[in-house]
Amino acid sequence: MTRRDWLRGAAGGAPAFAAGTPPGFRLAAFSAEVTPPLGYPLFAGFYAPALKIEDPLYAHGFVLLGPDRPLVLVAVDFLEIRNESYEQWRRALAKAAGTVPERVLVTSVHQHNAPFADRVAQQLLKRHHVPGKICDEAFHERTVAAVCAALRKALPAARPVSHIGLGQAKVERVASNRRAVLPDGKVTFGRASSTPDPVVRNAPEGLIDPWLKTVSFWDGDRPVAAVSSYSVHAQTHFGKGGVTADFLGWARARRQKDTPEVAQIYAPGCSGDTVAGKYNDGDPRNWPLLSERVHQAMVSAWRQTSRYPLSRIHFRSAPLRLKTRETGGYSKSDQLRTLSDSSQTYIKRAVAAMGLSWRQRVEAGYAIDIPVVDLGPATLVLMPGETFVQYQLWAQSLRPDQFVMAIGFGECAPGYIPTRAAVAEGWDDIWMWDDPESAEEIMLASLRDALQPR
């Protein structure tokens, strides 16, 4: 099926299919609350801890069952899940689903007023007597166990799946790029999720992917589950201790109320450099407006959905071996020195601990994998960390005849993964533990390996 065929089908509306038993495919949707207790460190302990629960956090996912081993996808309302903690999620969910960790796709929605998970980095802080916490291991263990219990409970109720649905809609006035070109022609990366400066805020949107995509699963003409994805950072505000799923979580929750019979999952797109800052100056009145615009795109994508028989599911993955960052105080010796220095700030010592946690795995030969789920007319691909939106667009270009949903914030250990062009224009950030000079070449090689036809 070509992209033209898909668009023609979408324009004509969804065809009707008779319900019936599909050729061996079933889907079990699951959900579990992952809200931290009051006092829990948010944003890896960089800002105020949890002082109030504005709204609950969840993990939403599904198990796709068929002739091969089960496939699992779960989107967690955490800031990030990294290193050994990420593998812990995959191992535990794989055991619960009766599959292997490689076939478990875990993504963090990346709200900033939310927990962070890197237990090795936390152990390093404890070993070096650093006051403050990245995460709490006991809470993390309980959370993983609760999500696994929800998955196991859902398996006996798995529903037949005979078709997939594909829909997309433009999101208006939400995303903009961190990169902003000012009136004098200068480039800044100073546009953030909230941007008070009107000069930076009012610069052109820049490079974004305006499309919210929805892949849904159907039992004939009865919808079972839907996964929606869009490229934008998941927060409007953070740092004052209010735990919240923020505007994307609110849109997801509202969509669930719209369609209580359909499991609604939101998986973030590649959003390292896409933010809501052009349309959010920090005024709380903007936040529900942003949520409503995303919700409307979800509704529109659903209305424009076309369904296609699900006749096969192919899974594969490609290894990704990013290099560690060695400059700007990120070498191993620099990180050890910073971590051991009690005169340094908590943030600097925590950043060093996260870098050492990542470096430990790289030195042990660990490779991030880029998993790809090929559903016939659609493909899901999961990328690591805060991958820039250009990689999402490149992934789509590698499968021009398919509906490609590129998901970000898988294994988050590398932090930001910029493009070569952004680095040349001065992109830098403390939240980046991979080598920015080589990232693009390595990422593109792995994406081609994962997505190009074989």
DSSP 283-330: -TTHHHHHHHHHHHHHHHHHHT-EEEE----EEEEEEE-PPBP-STT-
Half-sphere exposure for 373 (CA within 13 Å, toward CB): 23
| Whole-number Cα distances in Å, 231 to 170, 211, 277 | 11, 8, 13
Six-digit token string for 85: 């903690």
DSSP 227-271: EEE--S-S-S--SSSEE--HHHHHHHHHHHHH-TTSEEEE---S-
d(CA 306, CA 315): 23
Predicted confidence at residue 248, as pLDDT, reads 98
d(CA 133, CA 84): 17
CA 401 to chain centre: 24
| Whole-number Cα distances in Å, 36 to 32, 93, 147, 248, 251 | 12, 20, 14, 19, 21
179 backbone dihedrals φ, ψ, rounded to 5°: -70, 125
Domain carrying residue 29: 3-168+214-271+289-326+352-451
Strands (E), 40-84: 52-53, 58-65, 71-76, 80-81
Number of folded domains that form the chain: 1
Residue 12 lies in a domain: yes
What pLDDT digit, counting tens, does each position of 26-44 carry?
999 999 999 999 999 999 9
pLDDT of 1 above 80: no
What pLDDT digit, counting tens, does each position of 218-232 carry?
999 999 999 999 999
Half-sphere exposure for 7 (CA within 13 Å, toward CB): 6
pLDDT of 20 above 70: no
Crossing angle between the packed helical segments 83-97 and 137-154, to the nearest 10 degrees: 30
Residue 77 lies in a domain: yes
Alpha helices in 128-205 (DSSP H): 137-154, 198-201
Of 14-18, 147-151, 184-188, least confident by mean pLDDT is: 14-18
Residue 379 lies in a domain: yes
Residue 296 lies in a domain: yes
d(CA 360, CA 230): 32
The three-class DSSP label of residue 53 is strand
What pLDDT digit, counting tens, does each position of 200-221 carry?
999 999 999 999 999 999 999 9
d(CA 267, CA 251): 12
Q: Which amino acid is at 48?
A: A
Name which residue leads in pLDDT, 130 or 15.
130
Residue 107 lies in a domain: yes
pLDDT mean over 17-31:
71
378 backbone dihedrals φ, ψ, rounded to 5°: -135, 155
Residue 92 lies in a domain: yes
pLDDT of 73 above 90: yes
Residue 118 lies in a domain: yes
d(CA 93, CA 54): 28
Q: What integer best gives the mean pLDDT of the chain?
A: 94
Residue 39 lies in a domain: yes
> What is the dihedral sign for C-alpha 245, 249, 251, 257?
negative
pLDDT mean over 239-243:
97
What pLDDT digit, counting tens, does each position of 388-404 carry?
999 999 999 999 999 99
Asked if residue 322 lies in contact with residue 442, where contact means CB atoms within 8 angstroms, the answer is yes
d(CA 216, CA 162): 11
Residue 316 pLDDT class (50, 70, 90 cuts):
very high
The residue among 84, 118, 47 whose CA lies nearest residue 352 is: 118
pLDDT of 443 above 50: yes
Predicted confidence at residue 3, as pLDDT, reads 43
Predicted confidence at residue 454, as pLDDT, reads 64
pLDDT of 199 above 50: yes
Residue 452 pLDDT class (50, 70, 90 cuts):
confident
d(CA 433, CA 352): 9
